[in-house]
Structure 1
Amino acid sequence: MKIVCIAWGSLIWEPGPLKLASGWQPDGPSLPLEFVRDSDDSAELALVLHAPAPAMPTRWARLDTDDLEHAREMLREREKIRPEYPQWVGSLPDRAPPGSGAPTPPAIVASIAGWMATRDVDAAVWTALPAKFAGVSERAPSPHEAIALLASLQGDERAKAEQYVRRIPQDIRTLYRGVIEERLGWTPQP
């Protein structure tokens, strides 16, 4: 079974426990992405799937496993997703237990399935963390709130948040990224 991981953020430069069988390819499915998740373990504002946002390019890499459950577990571990939230690791075919919560929106799943049909791929996994702001899951910050959060950071926290935004691939041009560049000067790294 040929299994791929779809990525758009720090997985690209820090795959961690993900065992990759290929490098990251630039022609992943176009998916709605935005900087709307206040990270659980750092001060960054993470780029996540966000259905209201415009579709952006993603990356993909083949995983060094032919077992979908192992692929899901590698991604869960890398993203530090607690076991009680299996729906936050998206996959096709879907392997999240029934009743485990809100899955990836059907339109996004359909987009990934359509992309898979054009590739020699049997399965895919991706991070399906929801928006989160001020401790409230599924609440997206406004652009103003996002800028206020990032601008309030100091020292190492600010440096890490800036590095995260700047390392996101240049072709991912979200609304919030444009505002972050304009207000904070955090432009993409070449």
Structure 2
Amino acid sequence: MKIACLGWGSLIWKYGPLPVDGEWKPDGPALPVEFCRVSDGGELATALCMNAPAVPVLWAWLSVTTLSQACEALRKREAIPEARCDGIGSLLITGRNCGFLSSWAAERGIDALIWTGLPPRSAAMEGRVPTVDEAIAYLDSLTGETRDHARDYLNRVPAQISTPYRKVITDVLGL
């Protein structure tokens, strides 16, 4: 089974235990991604956000043979507790057209896809999308190493993840 992972944030440069096989490719599908998750590390991380405009994400092959191995490796990389049943998305490509994502994958010979499915998080509430003003206020409130980490994260996310929040954050805060 040929399995690939979709990525749009730190997974691309810091994939840890995820068995990425080769380089991340920039011609991924367009997905609704935004800087909308206050992460455990303090940065305003990218996450799927259903009301965000779609941007082309990246993808990479994984050196695993089963979808469950791939999901488990991504769960470990993302430090998602075993008891949590959300957080990892997956799609088994069955050969029939089930929408744009399965068509995109089939064109590349991908049998299954995985991705990080952690929701937006703001004001310590899972699922809450911060407004752009809240995102700016949050980032502006950071100091020291946490601010440096947040700046580094924003700068390392590939330029093709060009979202409305990123543009405003860069213009207003100069991060």
SS at match of 1:87: coil
Task: After TM superposition, give the deviation of residue 85 of structure 1 in Å.
Answer: 2.2
Residue of structure 1 in register with 2:53 after alignment: 54
Residue 147, structure 1, aligned to residue 146, structure 2: no
Residue of structure 2 in register with 1:157 after alignment: 146
- 1:14-67 CA distance string (max 9 Å, x none): 01001112211111111000011111x211011000010000011111001111
Task: After TM superposition, give the deviation of residue 172 of structure 1 in Å.
Answer: 1.4
Task: After TM superposition, give the deviation of residue 118 of structure 1 in Å.
Answer: 1.4
Task: After TM superposition, give the deviation of residue 115 of structure 1 in Å.
Answer: 1.3
Q: Distance in 1 between matches of 2:14 and 2:99?
A: 27
1:4-43 superposed matches below 5 A: 4-39=4-39, 41-43=40-42
Q: Distance in 1 between matches of 2:86 and 2:125?
A: 17
TM-score scaled by length of structure 2: 0.94
Q: Distance in 1 between matches of 2:100 and 2:137?
A: 33
Task: After TM superposition, give the deviation of residue 136 of structure 1 in Å.
Answer: 0.8
Superposition CA RMSD, Å: 1.3
Task: After TM superposition, give the deviation of residue 86 of structure 1 in Å.
Answer: 2.6
SS at match of 2:114: strand
Residue 130, structure 1, aligned to residue 119, structure 2: yes
Q: Distance in 2 between matches of 1:158 and 1:23?
A: 29
1:77-156 superposed matches below 5 A: 77-93=76-92, 110-156=99-145
Structure 1's unaligned 5+ residue stretches are: 95-108
Q: Following TM superposition, where does structure 1 have runs of at least 4 consecutive aligned residues deviating by more than 6 angstroms? A: none
Task: After TM superposition, give the deviation of residue 73 of structure 1 in Å.
Answer: 0.4
- More strand by percentage: 2
Instruction: Tell me the percent identity.
Output: 47
CA 1:147 to 1:51, structure 2 compared with 1: closer, same or farther past 3 Å? same
Q: Distance in 2 between matches of 1:169 and 1:48?
A: 14
TM-score scaled by length of structure 1: 0.87
1:171-190 superposed matches below 5 A: 171-186=160-175
Residue of structure 2 in register with 1:69 after alignment: 68
Q: Distance in 2 between matches of 1:84 and 1:113?
A: 28
The amino acid of 2:100's aligned partner reads S
Q: Distance in 1 between matches of 2:106 and 2:92?
A: 13
Count how many residue pairs are aligned between Structure 1 and Structure 2: 171
Given that residues 132 and 140 in structure 1 are in contact (C-alpha distance below 8 angstroms), is that contact kept between their aligned partners in structure 2? yes
Q: Distance in 2 between matches of 1:85 and 1:111?
A: 28
The amino acid of 1:3's aligned partner reads I
Given that residues 92 and 124 in structure 1 are in contact (C-alpha distance below 8 angstroms), is that contact kept between their aligned partners in structure 2? yes
